[in-house]
């Protein structure tokens, strides 16, 4: 701002609590503050890469304990169990590999995806991301789009007797029409909880039904857990487990949380799929896939998740957040729906209850007012009207209370403005996020604001700041499990 370049600058700190430099700080040390240097303990290049992610190796034992144990009880990793893993270095690579695995295994080419989905930035993934291809080259003939299982705004809503079966029948319809054209389905790709689609919680039982239709057509089910895996949903470690105890996808891709900001990702699949891939004789080679440092990061994240019981923490804070937001829904008519599980929550803003028209401009205004309060949150959904909450896993009960109190104050003020027919004026972006020097500031980053939505990738702390105190500090460009080492 004002011609100066600002950079986010954190030299020292633990999780989201930064030590005060000077001034009237009441910086609290949060649980987990001991993780100032979680990596070096493991950061020795002698670490064997097999420790994390070899086919049928440690990664699967750690990441899919239930499936692994079931396989061991059966004497060996079974065909239907996720028992083979490939390490890749970037999340998009994981989805691209999943696509290759599916095609190799099935011998088919076409893909069914959910409307408004996003699966990554590689060309192959832009092609299967309606969220992106609609603004670019358009839909390829091998890509087929099924409706989002959105029970708030979609064709089958909360009053439908069985939305899971109804939405799955839509997939069946898509699959049949593909087959009628003489084409063949290789995979159904979906985020276990569609995020870009508007923080959607598919009705329980939808995935097993879809999997049945897709497998019957010779395809496989790919669950993209890149945003939502690793305990975020609280009740389970993986979001696809919300769909039913017995449901197991054929391929699971994971990233983001796995490395807490470090580029590491993984693809897990069944022995059958892995074998078909290997059968080509063309080895899977990835220079940085499974580098010792990445493996060390992955293991450190898993250690922290387990030791600090962050999955249970997500369940507890998430339900508190939902309760607070529920009280806001009763108070502010602009809140049409609150949906969520663990620390994955969406607040759907509407113009009026009867039509459920997305309140896009109001959502924009709210986001900009929250920024003035050092709370970074963004919107998703086709109408860009769903506030997305996917905070780092260390997000606390206090944080939830603070954010909801600000939300309440801004909504009350907005309603007052709207009553008096005042225009809701957006602040110019640059004027935001520039805290007064020497004063305490609180920055909470709740969505997974892509770097683009953080001016200059986080122009928050003036570079030559005099005493500047962050009381709390939460920064993430992804829904990392905790931010001990990603800022």
The whole-angstrom separation of Cα 472 and Cα 397 is 13
Q: Which of residues 209-228 bind ligand PLP (CB under 6 A)?
A: 224, 226-227
Stretch that binds ligand PLP, among 118-126, 305-313, 419-427, 428-436 (CB under 6 A): 118-126
In the numeric block, the tokens 């295994």 are attached to 105
End-to-end CA distance of the chain: 21
Nearest approach, Cβ of residue 231 and ligand PLP (Å): 17
Q: Between 15 and 256, name the residue whose CB sits nearer to ligand PLP.
A: 256
β-pair partners for 191: 224
Applying CB under 6 A, which of residues 16, 52, 67, 118 lies at the interface with ligand PLP? 118
Give, as one character, the DSSP assignment of residue 155. Answer: S
- Report the relative pairing of strands 344-349 and 251-254 from DSSP bridges: unpaired
Residue 92 binding ligand PLP, by CB under 6 A: yes
Applying CB under 6 A, which of residues 120, 234, 336, 346 lies at the interface with ligand PLP? 120
The whole-angstrom separation of Cα 238 and Cα 125 is 22
The whole-angstrom separation of Cα 171 and Cα 214 is 8
Stretch that binds ligand PLP, among 12-20, 66-74, 113-121, 463-471 (CB under 6 A): 113-121
The whole-angstrom separation of Cα 382 and Cα 284 is 37
Applying CB under 6 A, which of residues 7, 28, 44, 121 lies at the interface with ligand PLP? 121
Residue 416's CB: how many other CB atoms inside 10 A? 10
**Residues 324/396, Cβ–Cβ less than 8 Å:** no
**Residues 220/186, Cβ–Cβ less than 8 Å:** yes
Residue 380 binding ligand PLP, by CB under 6 A: no
Q: Between 227 and 368, name the residue whose CB sits nearer to ligand PLP.
A: 227
Stretch that binds ligand PLP, among 87-95, 290-298, 334-342, 415-423 (CB under 6 A): 87-95
The alpha-helical segments, DSSP class H, found in 332-445 are 360-372, 397-419
In the numeric block, the tokens 């064709």 are attached to 155
Applying CB under 6 A, which of residues 110, 170, 191, 250 lies at the interface with ligand PLP? 191
Q: Between 178 and 343, name the residue whose CB sits nearer to ligand PLP.
A: 343
Q: Which residues contact 81 (CB under 8 A, 6 or more apart)?
A: 64, 67, 68, 70, 71, 74, 248, 270, 271
**Interaction mask 230-259, ligand PLP, x per CB under 6 A:** -------------------------x----
Stretch that binds ligand PLP, among 119-127, 159-167, 275-283, 412-420 (CB under 6 A): 119-127
The H or E element spanning position 473 is strand 469-473
Stretch that binds ligand PLP, among 89-97, 215-223, 297-305, 371-379 (CB under 6 A): 89-97
Total number of residues binding ligand PLP (CB under 6 A)?
A: 13
Nearest approach, Cβ of residue 434 and ligand PLP (Å): 27
Applying CB under 6 A, which of residues 35, 86, 87, 91 lies at the interface with ligand PLP? 91
Instruction: Decide: helix, strand or coil at residue 324.
Output: helix
In the numeric block, the tokens 């949060």 are attached to 30
Applying CB under 6 A, which of residues 87, 103, 119, 351 lies at the interface with ligand PLP? 119
The whole-angstrom separation of Cα 451 and Cα 267 is 25
Stretch that binds ligand PLP, among 91-99, 294-302, 304-312, 369-377 (CB under 6 A): 91-99
Nearest approach, Cβ of residue 350 and ligand PLP (Å): 25
- What residue ranges bind ligand PLP (CB under 6 A)? 90-92, 95, 118-121, 191, 224, 226-227, 255
């Amino acid at each position: 701002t004002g011609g100066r370049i600002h950079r986010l600058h954190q030299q020292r700190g633990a999780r989201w609590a930064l030590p005060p430099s000077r001034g009237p700080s009441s910086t609290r040390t949060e649980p987990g503050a001991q993780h100032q240097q979680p990596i070096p303990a493991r950061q020795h290049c002698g670490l064997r890469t097999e420790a994390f992610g070899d086919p049928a190796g440690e990664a699967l034992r750690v990441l899919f304990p239930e499936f692994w144990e079931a396989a061991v009880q059966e004497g060996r990793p079974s065909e239907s169990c996720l028992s083979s893993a490939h390490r890749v270095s970037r999340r998009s690579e994981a989805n691209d590999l999943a696509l290759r695995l599916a095609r190799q295994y099935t011998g088919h080419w076409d893909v069914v995806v959910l409307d408004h989905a996003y699966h990554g930035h590689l060309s192959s993934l832009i092609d299967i991301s309606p969220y992106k291809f609609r603004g670019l080259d358009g839909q390829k003939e091998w890509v087929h789009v099924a409706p989002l299982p959105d029970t708030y705004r979609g064709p089958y809503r909360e009053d439908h007797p069985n939305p899971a079966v109804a939405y799955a029948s839509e997939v069946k319809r898509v699959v049949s029409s593909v087959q009628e054209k003489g084409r063949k389905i290789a995979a159904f790709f979906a985020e276990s909880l569609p995020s870009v689609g508007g923080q959607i919680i598919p009705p329980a039982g939808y995935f097993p039904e879809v999997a049945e239709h897709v497998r019957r057509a010779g395809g496989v089910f790919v669950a993209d857990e890149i945003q939502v895996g690793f305990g975020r949903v609280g009740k389970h470690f993986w979001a696809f487990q919300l769909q039913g105890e017995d449901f197991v996808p054929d391929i699971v891709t994971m990233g983001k949380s796995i490395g807490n900001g470090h580029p590491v990702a993984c693809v897990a699949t069944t022995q059958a799929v892995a074998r078909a891939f290997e059968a080509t004789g063309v080895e899977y080679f990835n220079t940085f896939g499974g580098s010792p440092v990445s493996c060390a990061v992955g293991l450190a994240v898993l250690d922290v998740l387990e030791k600090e019981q962050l999955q249970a923490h997500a369940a507890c804070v998430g339900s508190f957040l939902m309760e607070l937001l529920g009280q806001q829904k009763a108070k502010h008519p602009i809140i049409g729906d609150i949906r969520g599980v663990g620390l994955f929550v969406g607040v759907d803003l509407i113009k009026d209850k009867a039509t459920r028209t997305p309140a896009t401009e109001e959502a924009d205004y709210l986001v900009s007012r929250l920024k003035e309060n050092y709370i970074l949150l963004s919107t998703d959904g086709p109408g860009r009207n769903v506030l997305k909450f996917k905070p780092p896993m260390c997000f606390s009960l206090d944080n939830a209370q603070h954010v909801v109190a600000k939300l309440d104050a801004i909504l009350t003020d907005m309603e007052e403005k709207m009553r008096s027919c005042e225009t809701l004026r957006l602040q110019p972006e640059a004027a935001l996020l520039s805290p007064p020097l020497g004063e305490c500031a609180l920055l909470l980053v709740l969505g997974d604001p892509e770097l683009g939505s953080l001016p200059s990738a986080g122009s928050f702390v003036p570079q030559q700041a005099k005493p500047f105190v962050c009381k709390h500090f939460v920064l993430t460009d992804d829904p990392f499990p905790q931010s001990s080492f990603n800022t």
